[in-house]
Amino acid sequence: MCEVANALSYHPDLSVKEIGEDLEALLMLDLDLIQPSGEFVSSVAEYARKYSVSVYDSSYLALAEATSSCLVTADERLYVKAKKAGCVRMFDEYDDD
């Protein structure tokens, strides 16, 4: 949630009210929230070192693994470093069709 709020706060055309409305809409999606465990946090630290990425970025890798999902990123630097981790894809690989 904080990640989305942070990204929206940099959008110059959105008012604070609109950001709040967008965050409320996100909450209404009834997404599953995952409480970090000791094992999860350890894997975050492991990936940060293994792939030479920030703990922040490695948390997305660990979350993808924990949920048997693929990480889709627009961050080419992260993609290049982490593609060895398994299921990591560039956002631009996906077509609008």
Domain ranges for the chain, please list them.
1-31, 38-93
pLDDT, one tens digit per residue, over 2-46 is: 888 988 999 999 999 999 999 999 999 988 877 889 999 999 999
- 3-state SS class at 93: helix
Residue with tokens 């599953």: 32
Q: What is the pLDDT of residue 59?
A: 93
Q: What gap in Å lies between CA 11 and CA 69, rounded to an integer?
A: 28
H or E element at residue 89? strand 88-90
What tens digit of pLDDT does each residue of 59-93 get? 999 999 988 999 999 899 999 998 888 889 998 88
Task: Indicate whether 95 pLDDT > 70.
Answer: no
The DSSP bridge partners found for residue 60 are none
Question: Which residue has tokens 């008012």?
Answer: 15
Q: How confident is the model at residue 97 (pLDDT cuts 50, 70, 90)?
A: low
**60 closest CA partner among 38, 31, 89:** 89
